[in-house]
Amino acid sequence: QSVLTQPPSASGTPGQRVTISCSGSSSNIGSNTVNWYQQLPGTAPKLLISSNNQRPSGVPDRFSGSKSGTSASLAISGLQSEDEADYYCAAWDDSLNGPVFGGGTKLTVL
């Protein structure tokens, strides 16, 4: 049971816009920034969005993040086949005194 709640799956067709939600609590998302990770099959997670809505160098602007209260969202526009991956949200948890992760969302490009 992950501390942050994500839908287990999401899907879309090429070119579409999809969003992935992440729900937490006042001790994590409510008081700290959210980061998003992309994990391609058989590889380590890669930082996709930092500090709620910042894209690291090299991440296409098709990816965007937002946060409101104790929830956050990742949006992917202009969906491409190479976006098929698992996506994880994360936030520091003040009670745990460590980072917590969502259970991951498997994105399928139909």
Partner 1 sequence: QLQLQESGPGLVKPSETLSLTCTVSGGSISSSSYYWGWIRQPPGKGLEWIGSIYYSGSTYYNPSLKSRVTISVDTSKNQFSLKLSSVTAADTAVYYCARHLLGSSKVDPWGQGTLVTVSS
Distances (CA, A) of 107 to 13, 18, 32: 11, 9, 25
Q: Where are the alpha helices (DSSP H) in 36-109?
A: none
Interacting residue with partner 1 among 72, 79, 100, 107 (CB under 8 A): 100
Cα dihedral 69, 75, 59, 72, rounded to 10, equals 20
Write each residue from 63 to 92 as x if it is in contact with partner 1 (CB under 8 A), else as -, in one continuous string: -------------------------x-xxx
For residue 4, give the DSSP letter.
B
3-class secondary structure, 90: strand
Name the residue nearer to partner 1 (CB basis): 80 or 95.
95
Interacting residue with partner 1 among 27, 33, 70, 77 (CB under 8 A): 33
Q: Does 9 bind partner 1 (CB under 8 A)?
A: no
> Which spans of this chain sit near partner 1 (rule: CB under 8 A)?
2, 32-35, 37, 43-47, 50-51, 56, 88, 90-92, 96-104
